[in-house]
Amino acid sequence: MHLMRVGDPGAERPVVVEAGVAYDLQPITPDIDGDFLAGDGIAEVRRALGEGTLAQVDVTDLRRGAPITRPHAVWCIGMNYAAHAAESGAQPPEVPVLFFKTPNTVVGPDDDVLVPRGSTKTDWEVELAVVIGKRARYLESPAQAREHIAGYTISNDVSEREFQLEASGGQWSKGKCCETFNPLGPALVPADEVDAGNLRLRSWVNGEPRQDSTTADLIFSVDFLVWHLSQVAVLEPGDVINTGTPQGVALSGRFPYLRAGDVVEVSIDGLGAQRQTLRQA
C-alpha cells in the first residue's frame, strides 16, 4: 500500500495505490498530514480498501508531490554510514550527528532542484526517510520507537558543501536549507510493510552509478534514532527524519559536483524512485 499526493504544487490530492491501482482518499482525508497519521488514518485506509468503498482514479501523467504535506520539522542525521563518514574524512560518530532542514525545502520527487546562486559544490544524497505517526516524547527504549513510526519514504538530502563546511564555519544547515533541497517521495509506505534494516539504496547522475548500499550498514538504526531524538526533543506526527546517506557522493572527491542540466536519480527498493533535473536558481 503506497500513500501518495498527486497534482500541481499546492493543489495535491491524496490517493492510495494498491496492486497498481490508484484510489481517491478525499472521502477519508483532505490531505496526508500529521492529523491524518495521528488519527490512525493508515488503518482507516486499509479498512476502506478491504471494504471496497474507495473510488478508482486515473493518476496517469499527474505530477507526484511529496507524500506528506509540509512537515512540522525535518530532522537530519549526518555521517550515519561508516563508509560515508570515512569518505568525508571523519571517524564514525559515537552519538548521532543532528542538523535541520527547513520544511519549505521539501518538494516532489520529480520536481526540479535549483543550484543555488554562487554554488560550486551542490551534492546529492539518497536517504531513507522516516515519517512520524504518533507523538514521541521521552521514549523508554528504542523498541518503543516502532509504535511511533507511520512509515517510510525516500529523501534526496541535497547539499551545498561549500556553504555547509567552508563558508559557514561548519554550520551544516547553511548548506542544507536552499530551496528545493529535499525532494521527498514518491510514496509513504506503512512501517509494517517495510524492513527498514535491509533496504537497498542507489543513486545515479546522468545515468552513471554513484551510490549503492543498504540500510544494514547504518551506524544508528531507525529505532535508535527515534528513541534518541525523543530524549532531546518532541517528535510530532508528520515530522520527517532523514537517516543519513551511504558512500558515493561528490564530497568524496571521486565525482564532480552537480551543475545545471544534470539529472539525478535515486531509489530505494520497495519504496520507489525519484528523478530530478538541476536548474540554476
pLDDT tens per residue across span 63-121: 999 999 989 999 999 999 987 777 777 788 999 999 999 999 999 999 999 999 999 99
Q: Are 138 and 230 in contact (CB under 8 A)?
A: yes
pLDDT of residue 129: 98
11, 87, 105, 125 from 164: Cα distances, Å: 33, 16, 15, 14
pTM of the model: 0.96
> What span, in angstroms and rounded, lies between the C-alpha atoms of 100 and 177?
8
How confident is the chain (281 residues) per 10-residue block, as mean pLDDT? 97 97 98 97 98 97 96 95 77 92 97 97 98 98 97 98 88 95 98 97 98 96 98 98 97 96 98 98 97
Strands 182-183 and 106-107: parallel
pLDDT of residue 90: 75
Give percent helix, percent strand, percent coil of the chain, each to the nearest 5. Answer: 20, 35, 45
pLDDT of residue 170: 78
pLDDT of residue 169: 80
Cell of 247: 558512500
3-state secondary structure of 35: helix
Amino acid code (one letter) for 150: A
> What span, in angstroms and rounded, lies between the C-alpha atoms of 88 and 251?
7
> What span, in angstroms and rounded, lies between the C-alpha atoms of 19 and 21?
6
Which residue matches cell numbers 488519527? 39
pLDDT of residue 91: 81
Cell of 48: 476502506
Greatest CA separation found in the chain? 57
pLDDT of residue 88: 73
> What span, in angstroms and rounded, lies between the C-alpha atoms of 68 and 89?
35
> What span, in angstroms and rounded, lies between the C-alpha atoms of 137 and 146?
13
